Amino acid sequence: MSEFEQLYREVILDHYKNPRGHGVLDDADASAEGQNPLCGDEVSIYVAFADDGETIDEVKFSGRGCAISQAATSMLTEMVEGRSATEVATMEKDELLDTIGIPLTPVRLKCAMLGLTTLKVALHKAKGTPLPEGLAGFDELELT
Amino acid sequence: MALATTDEKQLDPRALRRDFPIFEQEVHGKPLAFLDSAASSQKPRQMLAAMSRFYETSYANVHRGVYELAERATEALEHARERMRVFLNAPNAREVIFVRNATEGLNLVAYAWGLWNLGPGDLVVVTELEHHSNFVPWQFVAGKRGAELRVVPLGEHGELDLSGLDDLARGGAVKIVAANLVSNALGTINPVERLVAWAHEQGAIFVCDAAQAAPHMRLDVQALDVDFLALSGHKMCGPSGIGVLWGRSELLQEMEPFLTGGHMIRSVRADRTTWGELPHKFEAGTAPMAEAVGLAAAADYVEAAGLEAIEAHEHELAAYALDRLAEVPGITLYGPPPERRAGIVSFNLEGIHPHDVAQILDRQGVAIRAGHHCCQPLMQRLGVAATNRASFYLYTIPEEIDQLVDGLYAVRKVFA
């Protein structure tokens, strides 16, 4: 099994099987849906801000997709709670990739980044800031 | 051309395999089980040699050149056209138009026939089993002309339900019926003869997407009685970048061109241009010459192996695969029984996304496709985001299917 450990290390499978922050926030301050048309991964992200309107108080996500997309989004929800919206909206993708901690082929990179890209879109939409061009660098990512 | 087998009845996939240099390698330290031929086939050295020979001995731009090399190149291109006429049993080589792939061929018909002949109240009928290449162009031109797109639904076992055809035609005039001969997603062999007859009763033209059929069964445009038929070379042992659109002369003659520019003209004046004869009217720009030579060699190769033998071999493999895969716990198999399907098997493992399945299989040297297979309407119908798809060809051996099944057990272990 060791040859697969690199690909699907225990923590990825754990997040996939027991996703953190899974659910919907009915009164979300920020939300967006993203999908990866290559493999049909879908993620919806919901964010609630603290009273200061800037600190991310709670993040939830729903969706379906491969282990990489769902586990990465689950990990992301743990990473961003308590941080400022502005900071997360400009978060470097390497921060998430380091946490995921497995080598990803270009196709799987799109799966891994789906949650973060969708979250960034939600935050930019809520703040009324323009979406950076080529957000996260995926021209094939479809965001609605 | 030295061929591994010319036996009409049965082919020897192990011998044919030796014609394909790609199999002389291991992937991730494992023998390569290439089960993605429906996406694109591997290439025999006979085809590769034909292209090299053309580049090395006869290459120059075709037509109009008055020197020896240009004449040789023109002859090679026109020989390839004649070869594909024979491959399709078309009445006339002038009806054989070289395009980039089946997608371009279907777009050619959509734009050069559909856009000019559709109007409000007209209907275009496609099926739920279509590849996006035979769905989106029709949706697009129908929308542009105020016509309506209607979809023949899927019935049981991944097969089309034709019982409601006449209802589908209600309230409009059917102008175009477009369907594939073999579904790329499920392997279903579609009842095209019934659809063609119905289309013609409606006064419609029938456009056949043969991309998935051409590599695996004998095609005869006259017996099929279709009006247009498109195929891609790369799926039938040919190079990428070339396909064929065949169309009835009388339709092609009256059509306006699709792409305009060099080579497709008769005369150009500042105020007016007239079009060239068939097939040139539809072949603007420098032709894919070497690719045409490669495609002709690919036609030689698959016909020498025997299209009937290829079809029989794939039915056997499909039956074997369906049997073996059914053993795997948690598997869902899609599509018709083996006798009514080509060498394509789509499946899902419960709770495991196809991309995860395909990635773990890759580590075991098994190449399958995972995704929506450019058939999103079908995936919606099946209620899934994606499927795994294993597909076979003349070089596929049962051991590769065994390798797939062993691999699926390993996938289940990772996700246990």
Number of domains, chain A: 1
Clarify whether residues B277 and B338 are in a common domain. Answer: no
Q: Is residue B41 part of a domain?
A: no
Are residues A66 and B360, on separate chains, in Cβ contact within 8 Å? Answer: no
Give the distance from residue B101's alpha carbon to the nearest chain A alpha carbon, in angstroms: 21
- Nearest beta carbon to residue A66 from set B353, B363, B372: B353
* Contacts B415 to A, Cβ<8 Å: 8, 13, 67
| Nearest neighbour of B359 by CB, restricted to A1, A38, A108 | A108
How far is it, in rounded angstroms, from Cα B159 to Cα B3?
36
Residues 6+ apart with CB under 8 A from B192: B179, B181, B208, B224, B226
From residue A59, alpha-carbon distances to A90, A125, B148, B289 in Å are 17, 15, 43, 57
Q: For residue B339, what pLDDT is reported? A: 87
User: What per-residue confidence (pLDDT) applies to B9?
Assistant: 65
In tens, the pLDDT along B280-335 reads 999 999 999 999 999 999 999 999 999 999 999 999 999 999 999 999 999 999 99
Domain that holds residue B298: 50-303
Report CB contact under 8 Å: A8, B414: yes
Closest Cα of chain B to A42: distance in Å? 9
What are B371's strand-pairing partners?
B387
Query: Looking at chain B, which residue has its C-alpha nearest residue A41?
Result: B385
Domain boundary among B303, B335, B365: B303
How large a percentage of chain B has pLDDT more than 90?
89
Of A7, A65, A66, nearest to B363 by CB-CB distance is A7
Q: Which residue does chain A place closest to B384, by CA atoms?
A: A40
CB B316 within 8 Å of CB B308:
no
pLDDT bracket for residue A144 (50, 70, 90): very low
The rounded distance, in Å, linking the Cα atoms of B245 and B264 is: 16
Same domain flag for B220 and B348:
no
Question: What's the mean per-residue pLDDT of chain B?
Answer: 95
**Residue carrying structure tokens 């119908």:** B381
- Rounded distance, CA B279 to CA B277, Å? 6
From A65, which residue of chain B is nearest by alpha-carbon distance? B353
Range of the domain at A44: 2-143
Statement: residue A141 has pLDDT above 50: no
B100: exposed, middle or buried (C-beta count within 10 Å: 0-12, 13-18, 19+)? middle
Q: In this model, does residue B206 exceed pLDDT 50? A: yes
Q: Do B324 and B297 share a domain, yes or no?
A: no
Number of CB pairs, chain A paired with chain B, less than 8 A apart:
53
Nearest-angstrom CA–CA distance, A59 and B5: 63
Domain boundary among B273, B303, B333: B303
* Per-residue pLDDT tens over the stretch B25-65: 999 999 999 999 999 999 999 999 999 999 999 999 998 77
Express each pLDDT in A19-65 by its tens digit.
999 999 999 999 999 988 777 788 999 999 999 999 999 999 999 88
Looking at the structure of chain B, the number of domains it has is 2
B327 with B236, same domain?
no
Nearest CA among B324, B371, B364, B253 for reference residue B29: B364
Mean pLDDT of A97-117: 89
Are the beta carbons of A40 and B360 separated by less than 8 Å? Answer: no
pLDDT one-digit tens code per residue, B376-410:
899 888 988 889 999 999 999 999 999 999 999 99
- C-alpha B359/C-alpha B273 separation (Å) is 54
Contact residues, chain A to chain B, C-beta under 8 Å: 1, 3-4, 7-8, 13, 37-42, 64-68, 107-108, 111
C-alpha distance from B290 to closest chain A C-alpha (Å): 32
pLDDT band, very low/low/confident/very high, at B2 (cuts 50, 70, 90): very low
Which residue has better confidence, B374 or B21? Answer: B21
B-chain residue closest to A17, CA distance: B415
Q: Is the pLDDT of residue B15 over 70?
A: yes
Residue B280's SS3 state is helix
Instruction: Identify the pLDDT of residue A10.
Output: 86
Query: Is the pLDDT at B1 greater than 80, yes or no?
Result: no
Q: Do B355 and A66 touch (CB under 8 A)?
A: yes
Chain B: nearest CA to A57, how far in angstroms?
A: 31
Tell me the CATH number at B354: 3.90.1150.10
Residues B187 and B289 in one domain: yes
Q: Strand pairing of B173-180 and B205-209?
A: parallel
Mutate one of A39, A64, A69 to test the B interface: name it (highest B CB count within 10 A). Answer: A39
Q: How confident is the model at residue A8 (pLDDT cuts 50, 70, 90)?
A: confident
B385 found inside a domain? yes
**Which of A40, A141, A111 is closest to B370 using CA atoms?**
A40
What CATH number does the domain containing B166 carry?
3.40.640.10
- Omega within 30 of 0 (cis) for the link into B153: no
Nearest CA-CA partner of A120 in A104, A99, A140, A136:
A136
Residues B273 and B285 in one domain: yes
Kindly state whether residues B297 and B316 are assigned to the same domain: no
Q: A18 contacts in B (CB within 8 Å)?
A: none
Could you say which of B277, B303, B329 is where a domain stops? B303
Average pLDDT over every residue of B180-203: 97
Does residue B248 sit within a domain?
yes
CB atoms within 10 A of CB B247: 29
Give pLDDT, residue A130: 83
**Is B231 in the same domain as B110?**
yes
User: Which has the minimum average pLDDT: A120-134, B1-15, B222-236?
Assistant: B1-15
Average pLDDT over residues B184-195: 96
Annotated active-site positions of B, please? 374
Residues of B in contact with A6 (CB under 8 A): none
Task: Specify the amino acid at residue B29.
Answer: G
Which residues in chain B are closer than 8 Å to A3, comparing Cβ atoms? Answer: 28, 363
DSSP letter string, A51-77: TTSSBEEEEEEEEE--HHHHHHHHHHH
Confidence (pTM): 0.89
Dihedral through CA B251, CA B109, CA B227, CA B337, nearest 10?
Answer: 180
Listed in sequence order, the DSSP H helices in B146-228 are 165-168, 192-201, 221-224
B229 and B367 fall within a common domain: no
**What residues contact A10, with CB distance under 8 A and at least 6 apart?**
none
Q: In this predicted complex, what is the ipTM?
A: 0.74
Examine the domain organization and report whether B294 and B322 are in the same domain. no
Q: Is residue B7 pLDDT above 50, yes or no?
A: no
Contacts for B249 with CB less than 8 Å, ≥ 6 apart: B91, B92, B94, B95, B278
Q: What is the CATH number of the domain that holds A97?
A: 3.90.1010.10
What is the band of A5 on the pLDDT scale with cuts at 50, 70, 90?
low
Q: Residue A4: what pLDDT?
A: 63
CA–CA separation, A10 vs A80, rounded Å? 22
Q: Per-residue pLDDT for B73 more than 60?
A: yes
Q: Which residues of B touch A68 (CB under 8 A)?
A: 355-356
Distances in Å between the Cα of A102 and the Cα atoms of A8, A108, B263 are 8, 11, 53
Q: Do B100 and B219 belong to one domain?
A: yes
- Shared domain for B126 and B243, answered yes or no, is yes
Provide the shortest C-alpha distance from residue B343 to chain A (in Å). Answer: 23
